[in-house]
Amino acid sequence: MLPLLGLWAGLCLTGALYATWLGYGGRPFAATLTAFAFFLLVMLLFAARSFGDDLASRFGPGGGIGLGAAAFLAYLIYGLGTNTFTIWRAAAAGCLIFIPMALAASAQRKPAGTWQDFLTLAAVWVAVKPFPNPRGVSLSHWLWPYPAARLAYVLTVLLAINAALAAFVLMRRVDGIGYNIGWGRRWGFFILASFGAFACIAIPLGTAMHFITFAPQWHGWTALPLTSLGILFFTAWPEEFLFRGVLQNMLAKSSKSDLAGWWTAAVLFGFSHITNMGFPNWRYVILASIAGLFYGWTWRKTESIFASAIVHALVDVLWHFLFRT
């Protein structure tokens, strides 16, 4: 737990110093930092060894309710502190938090893989996915308007992960998620093998499909460390938690087949990207499905979403800096 607290403090301090350097300050900045710090703390603490299990054993489903209430309070602090609070925004945030928890509560004492589990997962994913409305403003941008909606995606992801942890770890107590940060035996081999094999397939295929073009951004390499951290913690880690730790895990349990769970989760992962960069983006679906197979293989071999998240982040960083879509 202590290394994770150190990581949390470092990330929060870095973010605060960078925001201060950009000129942000005052009560709105303090309220935003408070909400961000709380959501990130929950996301990281649950990755400490046995933290989630100990919390679930001590408090039972009540721990999930308490976490949901604390997350909602953090949103209220943000809304009131930034002068963006409205009843409708608070109601929307409450729905994002408490609807997944209500679905999880309705499936108590049932084995993992019920319809409530999959509906809960869909509800969390819809919250994370940036679907724009007819006016071109996404739900996340409306929910987090300060500062100029620049943190909308990150804060929405963190809020959704908090809700998913409350629902699946504390209330449903789903086994085998692999929600931990660590390093196991032969992880280096599995990560590099998965990343290398996918790159050998995706780069020529994506080029042949006219989906990507080699266009390295050499001028942007100074931002590589911060960009890589952002991709790892706010894109790769949440998606691997939802699609491998929860979805693939539950599909394998409900179908009684690891292979069926692996392939089905990969295809669903691909289809979850169909709205990216224009609907329907079938090229994105194909490449994301193939990527899902390698991420799922890494998760199966290591039993940890941290390992699959590293592969996921390596793919996204490579794509971001070396290719143009």
DSSP assignment letter at 278: S
- Give the predicted TM-score (pTM) of the model: 0.93
Give me the pLDDT at residue 226, please. Answer: 86
**Is there a contact between 46 and 56 (Cβ–Cβ < 8 Å)?**
no
- Chain centroid offset of residue 153 CA: 10
Residue 213's DSSP bridge partners are 324
d(CA 230, CA 245): 20
Q: Per residue in 177-229, pLDDT tens?
A: 999 988 988 999 999 999 999 999 999 999 999 999 999 988 878 888 889 99
How does residue 108 score in pLDDT terms, banded at 50, 70 and 90? confident
Give me the pLDDT at residue 276, please. Answer: 85
Give me the pLDDT at residue 130, please. Answer: 59
Amino acid at 20: T
**Residue 117 pLDDT > 80, yes or no?**
yes
3-state secondary structure of 3: helix
Flag the least confident range among 30-34, 81-85, 123-127, 250-254: 123-127
Nearest to 303 by CA among 232, 248, 256, 234: 248
d(CA 193, CA 249): 22
Residue 138's DSSP bridge partners are 132
Using the Cα atoms of residue 279, residue 129, residue 171 and residue 56 in order, give the sign of their dihedral: positive
**Residue 244 pLDDT > 90, yes or no?**
yes
How many of the other CB atoms lie within 10 Å of CB of 186? 10
Q: Pull the structure tokens for residue 10.
A: 């470092």
> How far apart are the two ends of the chain, measured CA to CA in Å?
40
Of 140 and 287, more confident: 287
Nearest to 105 by CA among 165, 52, 159, 168: 168
Angle at 25 between CA 68 and CA 85, to 5 degrees: 40
Read out DSSP for 126-175?
HHHS--B-TTS-BHHHHH--TTTTTTHHHHHHHHHHHHHIIIIIIIS--T
